[in-house]
Structure 1
Amino acid sequence: MPGLVAYSVAGLGLLALAALESLPLRVPPLPLLPRRHSTPLHLRHLLAAVLSALCLLSALLSAHHLSLPTLAASALFLLYSLAPFAPLAAPLPLPLLDLLLAAAFAQELLLFAHRRPSTAAGIENRYFDLLLVPITLCLGATLLAAHRPGETTPRLARAAGLALQGTWMVQMGFSFFTSAVAHGCALHAASRADYTIKCRTHEDYHRARSVATLQFNGHLALLVIAGAAAYAAVLSRTSRPPIGYRLLGKEVQMEGMPMMSRFTLDSDEEKEEERITTAAAPVTNGVESHDEIPLHATGS
């Protein structure tokens, strides 16, 4: 159960970080961030500092399985979290903070990419391999944010990567340390940090790997649905008519169609009679006028 609690706390913390990351943050065009706009930034860094400190403490308490890459990654995340609170004359530029965070994500990527427990055939390796997907997304989004510090898209992509990483860590905790593990496999723990999940047969091993892949696809689909729903909710609250277009009023709509209310169907005979009537002499003051035929006098 301690392993389940650790994974759950880490996953929920990453979800909270993703929520704070997706909040709107007004960034001025200057490379320095004024302190009057840095309240969401400081709150995010405080939560990241707490999670980094807990991870660093957990790595230090694992005396029998002390991992230098784990310590390095935790120290980089802690340094990034505490950097905005340094007593400097001016705040650190946002690109510099993003580069420091990118280094921390790169160290985390190397940590899980080269993780090899005591038993190389453990099912947990498949879960850690799938964890590389959201970490890579966070790394790429952070590098893009360092290149374009004022844009919102890299921050939203990083928030999506943190959310997927958080939900997947919660799933790993339940898959490793509860009865939700795949059928035919069992946890074998040498210590709190040194464990593996062994399966009885080769078929059980492949079935467990397939279950892990299906679980990850489910988490990814859930994230896409939640993101689309959140985007639709925000768009419905802030939607406005496109610039340069306006709705036509009733008077404007009827102005261009004055003859629609008097539209009738005429036959060919009625059209012929109307043509003859139009060609007839006009009526002036109620008396029909005719063209005078000139008379030529025959004599005087």
Structure 2
Amino acid sequence: MPQIPDTSVADSPRPFLLWVGETRDAELHLARSGLSGLVAVAEAATPAAAVAMGMPGQQSPAITLLAAAVPGGWTLADAVLLSRHWPLTPVVSVATSLIDGRRRSGPALPGVEEVPWTDLPGRVAWWLHDMAAGRPGTLGMPATSRREERIMESAVRVREWSSPQRPRPRISVAAARAGEVECLVDLLSAAGAPVTRRTCGRPPLDEPADVLVWDVSALTPSHLAWLQILTANQPALRVVLLDSFPRGDSTTAALRAGAVAVLARPVSLEALAGTLIRLETAAFALGGEQGRG
């Protein structure tokens, strides 16, 4: 049954997303759950059902998400149907790990950007941030743009993110090799997020930061065990893991061990900056407390 959120407020309607497709798949369920608390989401099983259902206040969705657990779940005709009904709404495809092998060769649907399921909450957070500021951002770039072009465009926008009203979180980074540590520091610097501590190897238990970005390369049981000990010693610490091969089961295990997010390597600047925005938003909603969720 279609799910339609209440987006009405006294002054102006709030933006909402349209999720088209299933959420039973473990990875899609995690991606959909990551949007909770960030933005209202209307759900429909198919593009035809989405077009047929009434939207809140006759609004157009801010973004339409086409979600499928396997390659070829949607066709170009499905994307065209949605675009014709809401011509100003960008359509984005959500890719599960089953699509990893094909994703780098280009989008399956011409003109439709494809986003890995792990990156979706962070990318959406950043896109909404751009929209609220009235900027086009990278969501308006061609779906075939090179990663380097997106990093340059993102860096210009992300530098404008800092808010004088709220202090920026203290951020630490950790990775197995020194080169990976420096790459993370450079990426966070491009995001306007200064790094307070950098560690080559596993992070120490006395981690003083608010947020830890830990590049585990390939997630193993030993990483999960250390993560549990770390978050037990530092319950306010929010840990973002970077994993080369994130899957639904491994990501669920990492979240249960205490991580707040798992992003795919190589991580995009937008996904990382958007994840930091998500964490700020969650902490602000809790009255400044730093909760895990």
TM-score in terms of structure 2 length: 0.24
Q: TM-score of the superposition, structure 1-length normalised?
A: 0.23
Q: Which has the higher helix share?
A: 1
Q: Whose Rg is larger?
A: 1
